[in-house]
Amino acid sequence: MKRFDVVIAGAGAAGLMCALEAGKRGRSVVALDHCREPGRKILISGGGRCNFTNRECRPDHYVSANPHFVKSALARYTPRDFIALVEKHGIPHHEKKDGQLFCDRSARDILNMLLEECACAGVRILCGCRIQSVRRTDGFEILTSAGVLRAQSFVVATGGLSIPKAGATGFGYRIAQQFGHAVIPCRPALAPLLFSEADRRRFGDLAGVGFDVSVSCGKHRFQDKMLFTHRGLSGPAILQISLHWEPGAPITIDLLPGADLASELLKRKGAGDRTTLKNVIAEKLPARFAQRWFQLQGGGSCPLAAAAHSDLERLATALHHWVIHPAGAEGYAKAEVTRGGVDTRGLSSQTMESRHIPGLYFIGEVLDVTGQLGGFNLQWAWASGYAAGQAA
């Protein structure tokens, strides 16, 4: 039987951050992962370039049943802190847009940085090691495929259900429930949305067509690229709104954000413009989409000069307010993250420790904390991992 101060279940972003911080405090630490190598989700993040944080990170970039929970950890470990670590290791990086920071070379730079920091802190990492059971004693007894481990603190950093090919499982939720913690129902988030059967027949063959839109659901709105797929809609704007979309709700898409289409059409009509409506819209949107729109709506061959004012206004309204009723979201295989998870109301927001099981911690995506697209979920992994690493 091997004894450690801290055993961490999961050697991903949050787990490694927690491990290196606890190790720097002189704690004996081992991080376990059932995959053959650590940090698999880090390696595929940001298209392999790792969108490792966002300069503009704020609590309102996160969704949770307990929205104030994130404030303490995010304030104690900020994007500036992680950027300083990246720069300490000389990792070249760039800002893509809206505060999103990516590696110039590869996500492996971030993983190697974390592993180097862990090594310097004396952290052990055991991969290919499965946890079979966890039992509360005077500390914790963890039965694994590598033998029995005992620890004063046990940290659950197993992630959510998204991207099973990267090793995602529901283990963390089962541990939470075993020790009396509630789990907020989970579902895929930052995921493509699926067409209804009728819309799939209308638009499914436009797969590959993409352009900038503004998409809204309730009070939430995002402007970015939208992409048609064979099954529905994807692209950053759709992934963002999927975080806030609830099953059964519609989404509204402005296909020409920032434009005043009605005013432009009426002005061109007044000037006697003989361009057909279909060609006018094809000037502004991909031709394949414009052609399909008028196949479904009719009227595309009418010259602007001959169109009725009311028809032009209706066309403009329809293009600025295209309402879609998604049939659902793509599953966990294509979802970037998991919405829902361990209920944070049972944890300390300063340390991530269970309020009723001393020494038990939950960090990262396993928690009911889900960030928007753009580096916010990795920043939560760093911040929550840091908070637990300072306490475990």
| Predicted model pTM | 0.95
Instruction: Report which of 378, 331, 348 is spatially closest to residue 61, judged by C-alpha positions.
Output: 378
User: What is the distance in angstroms between the CA of the first residue and the CA of the last residue of the chain?
Assistant: 21
Asked whether 80 and 53 are in contact (CB, 8 A), the reply is no
Instruction: Render pLDDT for 334-372 as a digit per residue (tens, 0 to 9).
Output: 999 999 999 999 999 999 999 999 999 999 999 999 999
- Compute the distance between CA of residue 175 and CA of residue 133 in angstroms, rounded to an integer: 9
Instruction: Render pLDDT for 260-283 as a digit per residue (tens, 0 to 9).
Output: 999 999 999 899 999 999 999 999
Question: Is the predicted pLDDT of residue 28 greater than 90, yes or no?
Answer: yes
Contacts of residue 204, defined as CB under 8 A and 6 or more positions apart, other chains included, come to 195, 228, 230, 231
- Intrachain domains 2-187+337-389 and 192-330 with the same fold: no
Q: Does domain 192-330 have CATH number 3.20.20.80?
A: no
Q: Which CATH superfamily is domain 2-187+337-389 in?
A: FAD/NAD(P)-binding domain (3.50.50.60)
Q: Which residue ranges make up each domain of the chain?
A: 2-187+337-389, 192-330
Antiparallel, parallel or unpaired: β 140-144 and 147-156: antiparallel
Asked whether 59 and 370 are in contact (CB, 8 A), the reply is no
Question: Is the predicted pLDDT of residue 203 greater than 80, yes or no?
Answer: yes
Amino acid found at 201? R
Instruction: Render pLDDT for 212-262 as a digit per residue (tens, 0 to 9).
Output: 999 999 999 999 999 999 999 999 999 999 999 999 999 999 999 999 999
- Long-range Cβ pairs for the range 278-284 (8 Å, 24+): 280/304, 281/315, 281/319, 284/256, 284/259
Antiparallel, parallel or unpaired: β 210-217 and 183-189: unpaired
Asked whether 189 and 225 are in contact (CB, 8 A), the reply is no
SS (HEC) of 210-242: EEEEEEEECCEEEEEEEEECCCEEECHHHHHHH
Residue corresponding to tokens 């692209």: 235
